[in-house]
Amino acid sequence: MGGTLLLLLMHLIFPAGAIEVPMFISRPSPRPSSAQKSPKDFGTTGAAPSEDPSFILGGKAGVVAFTPPPGFMDNSLVPDFANTTETNVTVLRGRTAHLHCHVLNLGTKSVSWVRHEDIHVLTVGRITFTNDDRFEAHNTPGSGVWSLLIKYPQPRDAGKYECQISTRPPKARVIALTVVEPQAEILRAPELFVDRGSTLNLTCIIPDSPEPPEYVFWYHREKMVTYDGARSDVHVRTDKGDVTTSTLVIKNVDDKDSGLYTCAPTGMKEASTTVTVLNGELPQAMQTGSTCRAYVGWHVLLVASVLYHMAWWTWHSCMAR
C-alpha cells in the first residue's frame, strides 16, 4: 500500500512523460544476508545501498523500477534561476508571446506561472489551470526552460507575470509583458487629388514597431486591392525594416479609382486616405482659392484705376490755371 502511494506521489510531482517507468524490474530487490551488516546500519529496510540509483517500488500491481532525474537525491543542489531569463518581453498584438523561465537544479520541485494582476495561478508544471485556452504551459522533457505561451495577445494581457519555484519560501522571477499596436500612417493623407489618366502613388509607413508586420494589405472601398495580374497597372511593394514601408501604385487612374484607400498591416492600427480623380476640373478647395485671388486682384485693379484718374484730374486742374 505504501509503495502504491509513493508511486502516485511521484506521478503528481513529475508531469506526464517526464518519468519512464517500466512495468517490471529485471533486478531483484537486494536481500540481507549473514555477510551483510545489521539492519540498523542501513535503516529499517535491512538492504545495503546500491550504486544503481533506481528505486524499488512495490504495490498490488507488481514491483516497478523508477529512475529519477539527475540531482533528484542531491540536496546540496538548490533550485535557482539562470541569468539567461529575459525579464522584459515586447510583442505585437495578435502575435504569440513567449515568456521563458530558465531554472537550474529543479530536482523534485515544480515551476508555476502566476499572473501578477489578480494572483491567478495559470500553470503548474506542464498543466494549465485557466479556462482561457490562449494560455499554455510548455517544457521539453529534460530541459530546464519552462515557458508560458500566450496566443493572440491583446493590450489587456500586458502586465507582470511571475515564474515561481516551489521552494520554501518560494523563489520567483517577474517578467514584464508589453503588448504594442503600432499606428500605420499614409503620407499626404487625409485627402489626395489626382488627374484622370495620371499615376496614383500612395505610401504607407509603420514606425515604432518592435518587429515588421507579417503582411501589409491595401483596401479600396473596403475591398482588398489585388495585384495578381488582374490589373497590370496596379503594383504593391513592401520593404520591411525598422520602419516598414508599403507603396501602392496605380497607373492610368480613372473615375472608378476614386474613394477611400486603407493601409492595413497585420496586428497594427490601420490608416486611410480619400482619393479623388479629377476630369480636368479643379477641386473645390482650389476653386475657392482661385476665386479669392481673383477677387483680391479685381479690387487692386479698381483702386489703381481710381488713383490714376484722381492723379490725372489733379494734374489737369493745375495745368488749367
One-character DSSP codes across 70-90:
TTSS-TT---EE-TT---EEE
Higher pLDDT, 11 or 257: 257
User: b/e string for 40-68 if b means 16 or more Cβ within 10 A?
Assistant: eeeeeebeeeeeeeebbbeeeeeebbbee
Task: Summarize pLDDT for 178-215 with one digit per residue, the tens.
Answer: 999 999 999 988 899 999 999 999 999 999 888 899 99
Q: Say if 296 falls within a structural domain.
A: no
pLDDT, residue 273, reads: 96
Contacts by 70-79 with C-beta closer than 8 Å and gap 24+? 71/105, 71/107, 72/107, 72/108, 74/107, 77/105, 77/107, 78/105, 78/167, 79/103, 79/104, 79/105, 79/106, 79/107, 79/109, 79/165, 79/167, 79/171
Residue ending a domain, choose from 41, 68, 95: 68
**pLDDT the model gives residue 56:** 47
Domain closes at, from 180, 215, 249: 180
As a whole number, mean pLDDT of residues 62-81 equals 63
Residues 151 and 217 in one domain: no
Does residue 291 form part of some domain?
A: no
Pair (125, 196) in one structural domain: no
Q: Which residues contact 168 (CB under 8 A, 6 or more apart)?
A: none
User: What does the alpha-carbon distance between residue 298 and residue 318 come to, in Å, rounded to a whole number?
Assistant: 31
Conformation bin of residue 40: beta by default, left when phi > 0, alpha when psi is -120 to 50: alpha
- On the question of a cis peptide bond just before residue 169, with omega within 30 degrees of 0, the verdict is yes
Task: Based on the fold, state whether residues 133 and 160 are members of the same structural domain.
Answer: yes
pLDDT of 90 strictly over 90: yes
User: What range does the domain containing 120 cover?
Assistant: 80-180
Specify whether 205 is located in the same domain as 265. Answer: yes
Domain assignment of residue 320, yes or no: no
Q: Structurally, how many domains does the chain consist of?
A: 3
pLDDT at 274: 96
Are residues 101 and 155 located together in one domain of the fold?
A: yes
Q: Decide if 249 is inside a domain.
A: yes
Instruction: Please tell me whether residue 230 adopts helix, strand or coil conformation.
Output: coil
Residue 21 lies in a domain: yes
In angstroms, the CA 271 to CA 276 distance is 17
pLDDT at 89 over 90: yes
193/176 same-domain check: no
Angstrom distance (rounded) from CA 204 to CA 208: 14
Residue 243 is part of a domain; what is its CATH number?
Answer: 2.60.40.10
Q: Provide the percentage of residues in the chain whose pLDDT is more than 90.
A: 53
**Looking at the domain assignment, is residue 265 inside a domain?**
yes
Query: Is residue 89 located within the same domain as residue 176?
Result: yes
* pTM of model > 0.75: no
Q: Do both 149 and 240 map to the same domain?
A: no
Give the single-character DSSP code of 44.
S
152-180 residue pLDDT tens: 999 999 999 999 999 999 999 999 999 99
Q: What is the mean pLDDT of the chain?
A: 77
| pLDDT (tens digit per residue) in 99-157 | 999 999 999 999 999 999 999 999 999 999 999 999 999 999 999 999 999 999 999 99
Averaged over 29-37, what is the pLDDT?
Answer: 43
Q: Do 160 and 203 share a structural domain?
A: no
Q: Are residues 197 and 171 in the same domain?
A: no
- Domain's final residue, options 148, 180, 212: 180
Radius of gyration of the chain (CA): 39
In this structure, is residue 40 part of a structural domain?
Answer: no
* Lowest model confidence (mean pLDDT) among 6-10, 96-100, 258-262: 6-10
Do 165 and 194 lie in one domain? The reply is no
Predicted local confidence at residue 311, as pLDDT: 67
Q: Is 205 part of any domain?
A: yes
> Mean pLDDT, to the nearest integer, of 223-230?
75
pLDDT number for residue 70: 54
Burial class (CB in 10 A: 0-12, 13-18, 19+), 248: buried
Task: Looking at the structure, tell me whether residues 115 and 137 fall in a common domain.
Answer: yes
28 has a pLDDT exceeding 50? no
Which one has a higher pLDDT value, 183 or 311? Answer: 183
